[in-house]
């Protein structure tokens, strides 16, 4: 019927006069952009995109459940070394404190140079994180999780240890460190079957830390 109306087979009936959308086509494309255009992922140095050095992290949060806190995570793009910390809520102050703790408590001291995040409102205090950790923050496009693929993948692995509904307020630092130790000592195909820790230590031994 719609094709017939558009083909003008019915005298006096047209898309403009009888169709609800007046014959306008549906928009199916989805635009992706960052709310922080001045800090867009597209402004990152090419060395970050190419995983050319240590210290370029991807960050995110993992939700526990209503009123059960969050887990803040960050993974080094080159070595896949993971740092994390729990926080009681999604407030800017809690998130920022968790990032500081995550890097301070890390078993491997890979100095963070950059951190790429999504556009969640919990990261609106990013300027304080930049100042506290002396790094540069970038934001991925909206609806583009593949731009932080390493972090998305590791968060999926963390769900094995901390399934949905986990009360992160009750997870101790010792319990979290035990999980991080297992993950960071796990061989990775992308690292020629070395673990993130072994990969970094081998690179240090060979003078390849840049």
162, 71 Cβ separation under 8 angstroms: yes
| CATH number for the domain whose boundaries are 60-205 | 3.30.420.10
161, 84 Cβ separation under 8 angstroms: no
pLDDT, tens only, 60-109: 999 988 889 999 999 999 999 999 999 999 999 999 999 999 999 999 99
Q: Report d(CA 107, CA 84) in Å as an integer.
A: 11
Q: Where are the domains of the chain?
A: 60-205
Closest-CA residue to 53 (of 76, 73, 69): 76
- DSSP assignment, residue 96? H
Q: Report d(CA 203, CA 206) in Å as an integer.
A: 5
pLDDT band at 182 (very low <50, low <70, confident <90, very high): very high
pLDDT, tens only, 9-60: 667 677 666 655 555 554 544 555 556 778 999 999 999 999 999 999 999 9
Give pTM, 2 decimals.
0.81
The neighbour count for residue 1, using CB atoms within 10 Å, is: 7
């Amino acid at each position: 019927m719609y094709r017939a109306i558009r083909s003008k087979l019915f005298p006096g009936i047209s898309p403009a006069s009888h169709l609800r959308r007046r014959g306008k086509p549906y928009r199916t494309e989805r635009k992706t952009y960052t709310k922080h255009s001045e800090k867009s992922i597209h402004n990152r140095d090419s060395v970050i995109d190419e995983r050319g050095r240590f210290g370029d992290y991807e960050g995110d949060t993992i939700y526990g459940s209503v009123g059960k806190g969050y887990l803040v995570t960050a993974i080094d793009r080159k070595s896949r070394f993971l740092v994390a910390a729990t926080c009681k809520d999604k407030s800017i102050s809690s998130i920022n404190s968790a990032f500081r703790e995550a890097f301070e408590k890390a078993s491997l001291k890979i100095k963070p140079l950059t951190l790429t995040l999504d556009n969640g409102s919990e990261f609106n205090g990013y300027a304080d994180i930049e100042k506290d950790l002396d790094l540069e923050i970038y934001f991925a496009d909206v609806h583009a999780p593949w731009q932080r693929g390493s972090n998305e993948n590791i968060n999926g692995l963390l769900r094995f240890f901390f399934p949905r509904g986990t009360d992160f307020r009750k997870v101790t630092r010792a319990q979290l460190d035990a999980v991080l130790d297992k993950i960071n000592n796990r061989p990775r195909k992308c690292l020629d079957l070395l673990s993130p820790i072994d990969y970094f230590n081998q690179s240090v031994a060979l003078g390849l830390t840049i």
